[in-house]
């Protein structure tokens, strides 16, 4: 996976430096997902990644720089995974498989921690404008993968001509993010499954055959 770009890092990295930076980002992303951005300290990131203090500050000037690269890191991981599921989406069954993969993935944590991007948005959207704008772009890319699949479904006759793929994609994303939040508070994926099932039922209402 490509390492996110950073304006704070030197223009060139040795192979060893790239590995160190990737290790720091991976550790920081995992800690911030489980503990939250505010509760994660640079000392914890350094300890989890095995990096020295000088190595950490060589790649990231401060926590703010690290957080912004964590946003890009999490988005790259998530969009790579979602792209594998959605790039060829062309059927209602494909949407069901997408739903099942998300619910089963969240069940690994009993619904805890929420969406990797959504949890970052919850902490950063009102306090870091640059991070908010980046998160908005990443969510739009994710929604765009769904919309493209729904457009294919309409073009191939799976959905009726009056279906609006872009609005349906927005509805699916809203159901997903709301489901993540309810699952997180309940530590149970059932609310997430219910929200996604209702959203999929709405998509099915535009199907040419029932």
- Report CA-CA distances (Å) from 151 to 83, 96, 144, 145, 156: 16, 17, 10, 10, 9
- Report CA-CA distances (Å) from 115 to 61, 72, 126, 196: 27, 14, 18, 14
Report the alpha-carbon distance of residue 189 to residue 187 in Å, rounded. Answer: 7
Among residues 68, 56, 44, 60, the alpha carbon closest in space to that of 127 is found at 68
**Helix or strand or coil: residue 159?**
strand
Residue 121's pLDDT is 96
Residue 10's pLDDT is 47
Residue 210's pLDDT is 60
Among residues 197, 98, 104, the alpha carbon closest in space to that of 146 is found at 98
Element (H, E) at 55: helix 53-59
The answer to whether the CB of 112 falls within 8 A of the CB of 184 is yes
Among residues 168, 169, 167, 191, the alpha carbon closest in space to that of 180 is found at 191
pLDDT tens string, the chain, 210 residues long: the values are: 444 544 444 446 788 888 999 999 999 999 999 999 999 999 999 999 999 999 999 999 999 999 999 999 999 999 999 999 999 999 999 999 999 999 999 999 898 999 999 999 999 999 999 999 999 999 999 999 999 999 999 999 999 999 999 999 999 999 999 999 999 999 999 999 999 999 999 999 999 986
Half-sphere exposure of residue 40: CA atoms within 13 angstroms, side-chain side:
25
Residue 17's pLDDT is 83
The arrangement of secondary structure in 87-210, i.e. its CATH architecture, is Orthogonal Bundle (1.10)
Residue 196's pLDDT is 98
Q: Does the domain formed by 1-79 have CATH 3.30.70.920?
A: no
Structure tokens belonging to residue 85: 């599921």
Where, residue-wise, is CATH 1.10.357.10 in the chain? 1-79, 87-210
Residue 3's pLDDT is 47
With a CB cutoff of 8 Å and minimum separation 6, the contacts of 108 are: none
């Amino acid at each position: 996976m490509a390492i996110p770009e950073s304006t704070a890092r030197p223009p060139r990295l040795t192979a060893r430096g790239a590995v160190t930076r990737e290790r720091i980002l991976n550790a920081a992303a995992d800690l911030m997902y489980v503990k939250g951005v505010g509760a994660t300290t640079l000392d914890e990131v350094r300890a989890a990644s095995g990096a020295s203090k000088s190595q950490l500050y060589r790649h990231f000037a401060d926590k703010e720089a690290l957080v912004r690269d964590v946003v890009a890191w999490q988005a790259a991981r998530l969009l790579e995974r979602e792209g594998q599921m959605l790039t060829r989406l062309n059927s209602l069954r494909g949407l069901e498989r997408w739903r099942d993969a998300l619910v089963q993935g969240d069940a690994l944590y009993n619904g805890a921690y929420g969406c990797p991007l959504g949890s970052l948005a919850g902490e950063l959207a009102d306090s870091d404008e640059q991070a908010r704008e980046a998160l908005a772009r990443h969510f739009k890319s994710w929604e765009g993968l769904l919309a493209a699949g729904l457009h294919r479904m309409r073009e191939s006759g799976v959905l009726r001509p009056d279906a609006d793929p872009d609005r349906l994609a927005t509805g699916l994303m809203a159901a997903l993010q709301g489901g993540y939040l309810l699952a997180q508070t309940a530590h149970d994926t059932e609310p997430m499954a219910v929200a996604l099932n209702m959203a999929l039922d709405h998509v099915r209402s535009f199907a040419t055959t029932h």
